[in-house]
């Protein structure tokens, strides 16, 4: 269960975002509404809506990222100025998420951030010129890594050991991979992106 604080300078905005997350209470718990302030409790992720902030609110991102109460920062925005993605990530954001994604995809992204990943919505990755096998399908970099190991016939335990994550996290990634690729099996998931020329060259831990 992720503990999330929704952050923005307008009360109507934070309650609107929290309303989107409410159907997913079994996965995400909104524990604070922070209007013009940083979280007071220990939280896993500060979900910062950039509405009303120039330059994707980079100063606010930096403030949240250095706050001892905050485990990670997810920026939730409609658009980014050219070159601003790198600036926001350098300020300490662990995710830059587009408001065009569905509520379910938003929750999946928050879960990935909570597991230690850096997640950037495909629209912003394309603008940055940064991609990896499966990114066009919405796969995160870690999900792409897991898929590469599937292509080598690795077990969940072997994948977990190679990426220094738990088997439970591997299973969560597999579920997300199957949903995003429309696959019903490990073999089908690999087949969906196996034609990508970068599939065998993606960076791997371990």
| Domain range summary for the chain, segments of one domain joined by + | 2-128, 135-201
Tokens of 158: 């072997």
Are 68 and 26 within 8 A, CB to CB?
no
How far is the C-alpha of 198 from the C-alpha of 131, rounded, in Å? 10
Q: Is the pLDDT of residue 200 over 80?
A: no
Task: Tell me which CATH code domain 2-128 carries.
Answer: 3.40.50.2300
**Cβ–Cβ < 8 Å for 177, 143:** yes
User: What is the structure's pLDDT at 131?
Assistant: 58
3-state secondary structure of 95: strand
User: What is the C-alpha radius of gyration for the chain, rounded to an integer number of angstroms?
Assistant: 17
The larger pLDDT score, comparing residue 130 to residue 72, is at 72
Among candidate residues 74, 51, 77, 52, the one with its CA nearest the CA of residue 61: 74
Average pLDDT over residues 44-72: 92
CATH 1.25.40.340 fits 135-201, yes or no: no
Contact yes or no for 147/178 (Cβ under 8 A): no
Higher per-residue pLDDT: 120 or 200: 120
Can you give the pLDDT at residue 206? Answer: 37
pLDDT in tens, 128-161: 555 567 777 777 777 888 888 888 888 999 988 8
* Residues 77 and 50: beta-carbon distance below 8 Å: yes
């Amino acid at each position: 269960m992720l503990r999330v604080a929704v952050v923005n300078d307008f009360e109507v905005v934070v309650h609107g975002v929290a309303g989107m997350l409410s159907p997913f209470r079994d996965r995400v718990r909104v524990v604070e509404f922070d209007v013009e302030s940083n979280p007071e409790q220990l939280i896993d992720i500060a979900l910062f809506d950039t509405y009303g902030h120039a330059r994707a609110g980079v100063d606010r991102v930096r403030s949240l990222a250095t706050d001892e109460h905050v485990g990670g920062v997810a920026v939730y925005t409609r658009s980014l100025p050219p070159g601003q993605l790198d600036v926001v990530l350098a300020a300490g954001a662990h995710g830059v998420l587009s408001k065009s994604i569905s509520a379910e995809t938003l929750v999946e992204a928050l879960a990935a951030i909570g597991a230690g990943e850096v997640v950037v919505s495909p629209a912003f990755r394309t603008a940055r010129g940064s991609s990896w096998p499966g990114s066009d399908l919405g796969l995160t970099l870690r999900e792409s890594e897991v898929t590469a190991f599937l292509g080598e016939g690795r077990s969940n335990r072997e994948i977990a050991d190679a990426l220094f994550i738990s088997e439970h996290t591997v299973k969560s990634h597999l579920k997300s991979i199957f949903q995003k690729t429309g696959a019903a099996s490990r073999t089908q998931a690999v087949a969906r992106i196996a034609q990508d020329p970068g599939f065998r060259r993606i960076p791997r831990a371990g």
